[in-house]
Structures are given as C-alpha cells and as structure tokens.
Amino acid sequence: MFQFSNPQYLYGLITIPALLAVFVIFWLQRKKAIKEFGDRALVKGLMPEASAARPWIKFIIAIFALSLIIIGMAGPQFGTKLREIKREGIELVIALDVSNSMLAEDIAPSRLQNAKRAIAKLTDRLQNDKIALIVFAGDAFVQLPMTTDYSAAKMFLQTITPKLVSNQGTAIGEAIKLGRKSFTPSDDNNKALIIITDGENHEDNAIDIASEASEEGIVIHTIGMGLAKGAPIPVYNKYGQKDYRTDNSGSVVISKLDENMLKKIAAAGGGKYIRANNTKTGLNALFDELNDMDKVEMDAKVYSEYEEQFQYFIGFGILLLLIEFLILQKKNKRLVAIEFFKSNLLKK
C-alpha cells in the first residue's frame, strides 16, 4: 500500500514543465545570439572552455532534485510497518430497523435519519471498543461485522436505506438472534446490543429471544423511534413527489411507536429502554451505561501502518543538488582532454 500524507504539495510538480520551458527559451536565445555574433567555429575557438552539454546536465539534475524534494514534502508512505496493540473495551452491536415505517417524519427529519445521525455521534465517542451494524425489517442482515474501524462504520451507515431489506416487517427477534452471532465467542460480560426501532409489527417472540441472549451475558437496550400519536409513512413517485402509504381500503397508514413491547424486550435483556423524540435520540443517554460495563482486553491484533519514506526522497534530492553545484558551467582545463561531458547536443 502507498499513500501521501500531504498530497497538496504535489501541486509543486506543476512548476517543472514551466521551468523546462523557460530554460529552453533562454538556451535558444543564447544560441541565436552566438550565431549572430559570428561564425560558430570561430566563436567556439574564442571560448575553448565553454561547454554546450554542462548547462543541460546541471539543469536536468536540478529538475530531478526539485522533483524528489517536492515528492518528499508530500510525505510518501508505504504500508510495510507492523505493530501489535491491545485494546480494552466492549463489543457493541447496533441493530437498526430499516422498515418503511422508519421513514415516518414524526421525529424530524425522519425516524431513520435521526437514528443514523445518533449512531454516527456515538461512533465518534467510541475509543477502544468494537462495533458491528445490523439492519433488519422482515429479515436481518449484517451490514458491518465486528470491527474497530469507526470510519468504515460511519461509511456503511450512510448507505443504509429501507431498500437494503426487501422483506418488510419488523422482526426484532431475528435481529437479536443475528446480534448474538455477531459477538466474538467468549464468556466475557462485555457485550451490548442496542436495538433502534419503532417496534411496530413485530413478527416473532422477541421477548423470549432477548431473555436467552441475556443468559449469555448480552445486555440488550432498546430505543423507541417515533411518537405515540404516530405519523403517516411518506412514499415518493419517480418524479420526487411525496404521497403517503395507504392500506387496502385506501386509508392513510399511521405508524405508531409500540413502546410497551420495547420496554419488555429491554427488561428481558437486562438493559434499558429509552424513547427518542425531537430533542433527544437516546444513544447519548446509553453511553454512560456502556462506559460502566466491564472492559476486557481484546485479542492482540496486528495493524498495518504506513511508514514514512520522505527522508529518502529529500535526502537523494539534496545529494543531486550538491552534485549539480559541483559541476561547473565551463570545462575544467586539466580534464578537458578527458571530456567527461562530451556531447553532440548543440552541434545541430
């Protein structure tokens, strides 16, 4: 793997073609001036120490040196350095309901968008903990396996929409089952599952499944998204016009929060229930609960890091500048017979 830590410095390479153009212009002007001064052979005899090749050699070396220094300033890094680290934290699985009812706008801008923003804020506060994301509706799927890569978690979070799960519904029990499988197998009591849903239209015995998970040391918290009065579920046509979902009789469907069910699931899972509204989402309220959980040492992981390589580019660039400085514009009288820099560059 290769990257630059300060890629903005690479814009300095734009000066290279400009410097080349300026040098060629001056060289052509000098050649023209010598031609106007007199016969080329005669002028050459008057300047026996003048070298046609040395200015080009010095310029090319200087250009290479400048390029290497610019690349060095950009901070080239190679992913060849390895180190082992150990983490102490908890394992956290967030199961997010992506059923159509989560599009209801009783919690602005919508239940789903509000939940995603809160998860992102929680991720920013995590340090040594592991996190996994599950999405569920009528079925449950792992969106992100257990990881400490919080940037990846936020990236995957942005892609979550109800279209990820074609089978609609709210199978909370399936989400709990999948959450249990997402944790690292161990006897440590450092596992927490947060279920974010409106709780509507549950399709399985989620309370019993939550109780079974609790016996395995998994603490289950629930966050209710929505208001008791409910709200219609928006749908958009291909032209972006908004309408609302209706039932078979043509009446607008009102999605309401099933708060009682979520309280029972949290109680069975040994956790807490929090209802979200327009002023609080609930994840921040749970953060202290997560911090109070026992932290355990995670398995030692080997992480690949980028090793700085700028010193080689800058060092070689400085060496080339030194060589360029030592090369004289004129021929050395003592070495003229050897003709180190013999060239036919200007004979045409």
Tens of pLDDT, residues 253-308: 999 999 999 999 999 999 999 988 765 666 667 887 888 776 766 654 555 566 77
Residue 165 class from Cβ within 10 Å (0-12 exposed, 13-18 middle, 19+ buried)?
buried
Longest distance between any two alpha carbons in the chain, whole Å: 106
pLDDT for residue 336 is more than 80: no
Other C-beta atoms lying within 10 Å of the C-beta of residue 318: 14
pLDDT for residue 46 is more than 60: no
Tens of pLDDT, residues 292-307: 776 766 654 555 566 7
Least-confidence region, from 24-28, 45-49, 68-72, 341-345: 341-345
| Tokens matching residue 176 | 């709990």
| Tokens matching residue 17 | 């073609």
pLDDT for residue 47 is more than 60: no
Domain ranges for the chain: 2-80+306-326, 88-299
Phi, psi angle pair for 223, to nearest 5°? -125, 120
Of the pLDDT bands very low, low, confident and very high (cuts 50, 70, 90), residue 210 is: very high
Query: What is the rounded average pLDDT of the residues 318-337?
Result: 71
- Ordered alpha helix ranges (H), the chain: 15-37, 40-46, 53-73, 111-125, 150-158, 172-182, 206-215, 259-268, 283-292, 310-326
Q: What is the pLDDT of residue 209?
A: 94
Of the pLDDT bands very low, low, confident and very high (cuts 50, 70, 90), residue 110 is: very high
Residue 335 class from Cβ within 10 Å (0-12 exposed, 13-18 middle, 19+ buried)?
exposed
Distance separating alpha carbons of residues 277 and 106, to the nearest angstrom: 8
Least-confidence region, from 2-6, 91-95, 182-186: 2-6
Of the pLDDT bands very low, low, confident and very high (cuts 50, 70, 90), residue 180 is: very high
| Tokens matching residue 182 | 């997402």
Of the pLDDT bands very low, low, confident and very high (cuts 50, 70, 90), residue 347 is: very low
Average pLDDT along the chain: 82
State which amino acid sits at residue 207. Answer: I
- Range 88-299 classified under CATH 3.30.230.10: no
97 or 248, higher pLDDT: 97
Distance separating alpha carbons of residues 201 and 149, to the nearest angstrom: 33
Q: What is the pLDDT of residue 252?
A: 93
Distance separating alpha carbons of residues 274 and 284, to the nearest angstrom: 10
Quick check: 103 and 162 in contact, CB under 8 A?
yes
pLDDT for residue 345 is more than 70: no
pLDDT for residue 1 is more than 90: no
Helix 53-73 to helix 310-326 angle (10° resolution) is 160
| Tokens matching residue 106 | 């009783």
